[in-house]
Structures are given as structure tokens and as C-alpha cells.
Amino acid sequence: MNETIPQLLSYDDPSLEAAFATLADEVRTETSSQRDAEVFRLRWLGRKQGRLKLISEAWLKSAPAEARKPLGIRFNQLKQQIEAALVAAAAAPPVTSAKAGIDITLPGMVRAPGIPHPLLKTMQEIVSVFHDLGYSTALGPQVETDFYNFEALNFPPNHPARDTQDTLVLANQQAKPSRDRLLMRTHTSPVQIRSMIAQAPPIRIVVPGKVHRNDAADATHSPVFHQVEGLCVDTNITFSDLKGTLDYAMKALFGSGVKTRFFPSFFPFTEPSADVQISCIFCAGMGCRKCKQSGWIELLGCGMVDPAVFASVTEERRKLDPADDAYNPAKVTGFAFGMGVERIAMIQHGISEIGHFYSGDMRFLEQFA
Ligand SMILES: [Zn+2]
């Protein structure tokens, strides 16, 4: 479209005659050679950059008053010529498709089948390991009350442990008592409380789901991420059961050669608590960049259910049955564990940037098909 506008040096009749004859020739030549009528139409009649508009603007701008009318008439004729050429092009059968028809030997349109998102896939893998151990899946809401997310899990109001989970709270909750205030759950642990209130032991549940924290996004953190949490409560459940269960699960997820080790840790809702490391799956414990030369990768948190949690559950259950004693810590014990799905998926697939999971970039996602 960047062609030069032809110069019109004089506005007398013979000059106009000659200039418009040249334009009419130009249109004729193009209609006979142009295959795409739409390109032709835009080139001449385009509302902003069309040749007809540009030329008429240029010529009319410097035209003496008496030349404007003959110019206008000639531009109209030119426009009619272009429109007639377009009508003719539209009426003519399209050359290629009319000859070729539909070629049924050409490959058809390939519609790729959908695949599970890599995070959902990993989450499902973790869940199914515990299904094999007799656990069932429990789910809960992402918008939680302070009671289920914190208080019942032994995070009293104003307790410093709450600061370790920077919480997104819902607006306009100040009028409510603190335990009823709504927030985005910071972990899947409230589902433990909901399940125990609803069901007497024995209980074996695994809780996959989305959690929210007011964290700045970086290579390994996202304000929204996924956890899988587990809870087992029964008579005679010991720390050995916890160790055996998690050791089995890690071997099922990462291969039978993987070793586990447990370190003392702290969580308000378990006592004692532990962090679990697995031997580095990249270097088999020899030390590499991925494990910062330590040979171990920290993977999850766990512990024995704190009796204070059983006490909160009992308090709620007694609102329905004052004699309820199902979660008496003298009779039952339990363990709980939780892990980040993103972290495990990143280790499984060697992904260094958590943002890839949420980008929707097909180049990334297609690798998991
Ligand atoms: Zn390593």
C-alpha cells in the first residue's frame, strides 16, 4: 500500500483524461492478474489506506474550485469500474476449489485428545498410592472458617505459628466471632477436622486439593498451589506405622531404591512432628546440584496427631452427642502427613520453574501427553 500517489500537474480536461485513463488501465491490469478479490478490494477501496481514497484526497486537496466537480465525477466512474470488477470476480466460480473439489486423500484435521494436567497427574498418582493402602479420598471447601483452618488444628488466635502461613482473608468478616471468620484455606488440614467430626475412628483418608497463601510468586512459590494430606486414626497407631507408611509411599512414587529419613520438626497439630527426606533420585544419594550435594531431598511434613486436635474434635462432636468419646486420646492415636504436589511434580519431571504449571503454554503441556 506504500505506493506513490500519481502526480496531477494540471487540472485541465486533457490532463484529467490522461490521468484517469492511466488509473483505469491499472485497475484493468490488476483485475486480470489478481487472484484474490479481497486483496484487490482492500488495495483500491480500503477505507483508510485504499488507493482510491489516498489519490482522491491528494488530488482534491490542491484542486482549484472549478476542477472539483469534474474530478468527483471521474473518481465516481473509477469507483464504479472497480466495483464492477469485484462483482465479476465474485460471480466467477473460484478457480482452484471448483477444479479440485474435496480431496479425500489429504490428511484430515488432527484433533489432539486431551491429557490430564501434569499437576493433576502427579496428584492422582500420590492419591492412588494411598488408595492401595486402603485410604479413601476426602475433600473440603477452599473457603474455610478460621476454626477449621487454624483453631481446631491447635493454632490459637494470635499464636505466632499462624504467621508461618501468610493467610488471605475474606473482606468484611470483622463483625463475626474470630472462629467463624472466612479465609482461603492455607493447607488441606481443615479436611482432617471436618472428617473426624463427621466420622468415628478408624479413619484413613487422603485429601488432595488447592490451597492459598499470600506468598509472592517466584521460581518455587505460588500463591495458589496443591497439597495432598493424609490422616490415619485408629487404636494402637504408632510412629512406626507413620514411618512404614511414608517409606512405602515414597518407594511407590519414586522407585524402590529410594530411602527415607525423618528429622524432628514442628507443626502445631502434630506432636512429635517430623520432616521427611528422601535419598536424591538424581544422584542416588551421591550428591549433585539438585540436592545441593547433600544426597537428600526434603519432601514432606508429618507427625502424630496432637491430643489438642482430638480435644477440639471431641468438643464439636459433643455438640451433637454429649457422651461422645470416640477421639479420646487414651483410646486412639493417629498420624498425619502433608506434601506439596508442585514440589513433587517438579522433582519427578526436573522442572525448575513453578510458573510453567500455570502458564497454559502448550509447548510445556504437550511434553506430558
Ligand atoms: Zn542429588
Q: 65 vs 262, which has greater pLDDT?
A: 262
Cα of 278 vs centre of ligand 1, distance in Å, is 10
Cα of 279 vs centre of ligand 1, distance in Å, is 8
Once rounded to an integer, what is the mean pLDDT over residues 168-182? 90
Cα of 132 vs centre of ligand 1, distance in Å, is 29
**In this model, does residue 96 exceed pLDDT 60?**
no
Q: What is the pLDDT of residue 1?
A: 44
**305-334 pLDDT, tens per residue?**
999 999 999 999 999 999 999 999 999 999
Q: 110 vs 321, which has greater pLDDT?
A: 321
How many percent of the chain have pLDDT more than 90?
Answer: 56
Per the prediction, the chain carries an average pLDDT of: 90
H helical segments located in the chain: 13-33, 37-45, 51-61, 68-91, 95-100, 118-132, 146-149, 190-198, 239-254, 307-317, 341-349, 356-359, 362-365
214, three cell numbers: 499470600
Cα of 17 vs centre of ligand 1, distance in Å, is 85
Cα of 262 vs centre of ligand 1, distance in Å, is 18
How many percent of the chain have pLDDT more than 70?
Answer: 96
Cα of 267 vs centre of ligand 1, distance in Å, is 27
Strand 203-212 relative to strand 136-137: parallel, antiparallel, unpaired? parallel
Q: What is the pLDDT of residue 100?
A: 62
Strand order of the β-sheet with 260-267 is: 136-137, 203-212, 224-234, 333-340, 296-305, 270-279, 260-267
C-alpha 203/C-alpha 321 separation (Å) is 19
**In this model, does residue 2 exceed pLDDT 60?**
no
89-98, 113-122, 128-137, 358-367, range with greatest mean pLDDT: 128-137
Cα of 122 vs centre of ligand 1, distance in Å, is 21
C-alpha 122/C-alpha 228 separation (Å) is 10
Q: What's the whole-model pTM score?
A: 0.69
Q: Is 111 exposed, middle or buried (0-12, 13-18, 19+ CB in 10 A)?
A: exposed
**Confidence at 110, pLDDT banded by 50, 70, 90:** confident
Q: How big is the CA angle at 145 (ends 328 and 184), to the nearest 5 degrees?
A: 125
Q: 264 vs 71, which has greater pLDDT?
A: 264
Cα of 247 vs centre of ligand 1, distance in Å, is 19
Cα of 297 vs centre of ligand 1, distance in Å, is 8
- Is 89 in a helix, a strand, or coil? helix
Cα of 141 vs centre of ligand 1, distance in Å, is 37
For the chain, the first-to-last Cα distance in angstroms comes to 45
Cα of 46 vs centre of ligand 1, distance in Å, is 64
Question: Is the CB of residue 298 less than 8 Å from the CB of residue 275?
Answer: yes
**205-260 pLDDT, tens per residue?**
999 999 999 888 888 889 999 999 999 999 999 999 999 999 999 999 999 999 99
- Is 141 in a helix, a strand, or coil? coil
**41-60 pLDDT, tens per residue?**
888 888 888 888 888 888 88
Report residue 105 CA to chain centroid gap: 38
Q: What is the pLDDT of residue 94?
A: 58
Residue that is written with C-alpha cell 493467610 in the block: 167
Q: What is the pLDDT of residue 40?
A: 85
C-alpha 268/C-alpha 289 separation (Å) is 33
Q: Is 209 left (phi over 0), alpha (psi -120 to 50) or beta?
A: left
36, three cell numbers: 484474490
Q: What is the pLDDT of residue 259?
A: 94
Q: How big is the CA angle at 40 (ends 35 and 46), to the nearest 5 degrees?
A: 155
Cα of 360 vs centre of ligand 1, distance in Å, is 30
Q: What is the pLDDT of residue 270?
A: 96
Residues, CB-to-ion distance under 5 Å, ligand 1? 280, 282-283, 288, 290-291
Cα of 246 vs centre of ligand 1, distance in Å, is 20
C-alpha 70/C-alpha 15 separation (Å) is 12
Q: What is the pLDDT of residue 95?
A: 56
Cα of 113 vs centre of ligand 1, distance in Å, is 36
- Rounded to the nearest 10°, the torsion over CA 119, 122, 124, 125 is 180
**Confidence at 3, pLDDT banded by 50, 70, 90:** low
Residue type, position 289, single letter: R
Cα of 283 vs centre of ligand 1, distance in Å, is 4
